[in-house]
Amino acid sequence: MKISKLVKGNQTVISIDGDLDAGSSVLLDSAIEEAVASGHRHLLIDCTRLNYISSAGLGVFMSRVQDFEDQHIPMVLFGLQAKVFRIFQILGLDQLLKIVASEAEAATLAHQ
């Protein structure tokens, strides 16, 4: 799995390429941590190339939701493939996380 970061103004787009599992989820966790530590207050997670997610990957997002809400840091996921979105749905996480189709929608939602 590869993680890349792109800073656009006051937002950071973190792109995930590959499988997010018990072995690789720590990389995403670190990338999010670094983005927030760098002062980027709007996080967009590009899941267009996210091919697979397990509970370890879901846990990275789940563990941040409340903390980011408290700190007023919007985190929006976009571009999920249907097979990946299905896993979020199985646990009801599609209702607890901000998930939209496109980067434009994600940027709009993050800045509301």
Partner 1 sequence: MIYHHQFSCDRENLQAVRHFVTKVLREELFPEEDIPAVVLAIDEVCANLIVHSHQSDPDGLIDLHLKVTPQNVVCEIIDRDSIFYDFSNHRNPDIEQIVREGRNGGVGLMLVKRLVDKIEVERHGTQSTWRLTKGSLRPTLPA
- Decide if residue 73 touches partner 1 (CB under 8 A): no
Q: Does 62 bind partner 1 (CB under 8 A)?
A: yes
Q: Which stretch binds partner 1 (CB under 8 A): 6-14, 35-43, 47-55, 98-106?
A: 47-55
Q: Which two tokens stand for residue 108?
A: 């709009």
Q: Which residues have a Cβ under 8 Å from the Cβ of 43 and sit 6 or more positions away?
A: 11, 12, 14, 32, 35, 36, 68, 73, 74, 75, 76, 110
| Interface positions with partner 1 (CB under 8 A) | 19, 21-23, 29, 52, 54-56, 58-60, 62-67, 83, 86-87, 90-93, 96
